[in-house]
Structures are given as structure tokens and as C-alpha cells.
């Protein structure tokens, strides 16, 4: 068989599944995001029959203007230059890869957030790795973020 380059969508799925290959790893990365958002309370829900997880926090939330970048690779609020990267970041999630990887390998991901100091709650939904919807939602009672992940395979 002759050598050939894999299509971009296949490359992306292979790369993502190498980093986030089970729910334990996905939960770990979502908890890291919550800790980086200065959360003081984090709840984890696992629904075995639906093959889904949900991580809910009371962190600073995501500003509306940042939602346009959510789900893209190499998007982070932790570092912005090589010096910051080499200085051993003090945050857990700084590469800007894992949320994109979770989105790539999941059937559906919904991110709902209310940013600190605002009244509005925004949600972005991804299906099979593609952005499907961004909309204003019913207001959360407080600031923070909820990430719901629905898997393509059983837990």
C-alpha cells in the first residue's frame, strides 16, 4: 500500500483521542479548568446510562466575547508568549488543547457560563466536533461554568 497523508479530520480525531481517551481524563481536565477559574466549589455528575458527564463550578465564568474562541485548539487565557510558557505556568490548563480535544471526540458538548459581574448566561453547543449553536440562556443563579459532555461510547 502506498503512503498517503491522512485527512485533517482523521488527524484531529487521532490526536484528540491520544490525549483524552476516557472519561476520567476528561473529568480531570475539566476540573483543572475549574481550578484555574478560581472555583471554590466544583460538582461532578456522571450519568452511566447516557454515557455523559457534567462538571459545574462557581469560578469566574467565561465572558461573552471569549465564547467565539471556545473549542478551538491552542486557545488559552493562561499564557501569551514563549517566555510565559518557559516560566513553568502556575496554572493546570495552559496549552489550550484539552477542551478542543474533548469536543472533537464527543458526540455533544455544551458549555454554559455566566461571567463574574454580569447577569447574562451564554451557552455554546458542539455536535460531533462542530459548533452548532451559541445563544443567551436562562440566567444561572451565580457566576461559573457548566460543561456537559455526551460520549460516543459507553462509560
Q: Where in the chain are the domains?
A: 9-150
∠ CA 105-106-107 to the nearest 5 degrees? 130
Predicted pLDDT of residue 1? 75
Residue 28's nearest CA partner among 152, 149, 140, 127 is: 149
List the grid coordinates of 41.
466549589
pLDDT (0 to 100) of residue 17: 56
**How far is the C-alpha of 122 from the C-alpha of 5, rounded, in Å?**
39
Interhelix angle 98-105/23-36, rounded to 10 degrees, is: 140
pTM for this prediction: 0.83
- CA-CA-CA-CA dihedral for 56, 132, 67, 82, to nearest 10: 100
Q: With bands split at pLDDT 50, 70 and 90, how would you rate the model's confidence at 105?
A: confident
Closest CA to 125 of 114, 117, 134, 116: 134
Which of 74-88, 97-111, 141-155 is modeled with the greatest confidence? 97-111
Give the cell for residue 48.
452511566
Q: What is the largest CA-CA distance in the chain?
A: 59
Contact 39, 144 (CB under 8 A): yes
Per the structure block, which three cell numbers stand in for 69?
474562541
- Per-residue pLDDT of 24-48, as tens digits, reads 888 998 999 999 999 999 999 999 8
User: Cα separation of 55 and 119, whole Å?
Assistant: 21
CA distance 25 to 45: 15
Pick the CATH number of 9-150 from 3.40.50.2300, 3.30.60.50, 3.30.565.10, 3.30.465.10: 3.30.565.10
Amino acid at each position: 500500500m502506498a503512503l498517503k497523508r491522512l485527512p485533517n479530520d482523521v488527524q484531529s480525531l487521532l490526536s484528540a483521542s491520544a490525549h483524552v481517551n476516557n472519561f476520567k481524563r476528561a473529568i480531570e481536565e475539566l476540573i483543572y479548568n475549574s481550578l484555574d477559574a478560581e472555583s471554590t466549589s466544583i460538582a461532578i455528575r456522571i450519568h452511566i446510562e447516557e454515557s455523559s458527564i457534567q462538571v459545574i463550578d462557581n469560578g469566574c465564568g467565561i465572558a461573552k466575547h471569549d465564547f467565539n474562541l471556545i473549542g478551538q485548539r491552542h486557545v488559552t487565557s493562561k499564557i501569551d508568549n514563549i517566555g510565559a510558557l518557559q516560566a513553568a505556568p502556575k496554572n493546570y490548563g495552559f496549552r489550550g488543547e484539552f477542551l478542543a480535544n474533548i469536543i472533537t471526540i464527543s458526540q455533544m458538548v455544551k458549555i454554559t457560563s455566566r461571567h463574574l459581574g454580569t447577569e447574562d448566561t451564554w451557552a455554546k453547543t458542539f455536535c460531533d466536533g462542530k459548533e452548532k449553536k451559541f445563544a443567551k440562556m436562562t440566567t444561572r443563579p451565580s457566576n461559573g461554568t457548566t460543561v456537559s459532555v455526551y460520549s460516543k461510547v459507553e462509560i
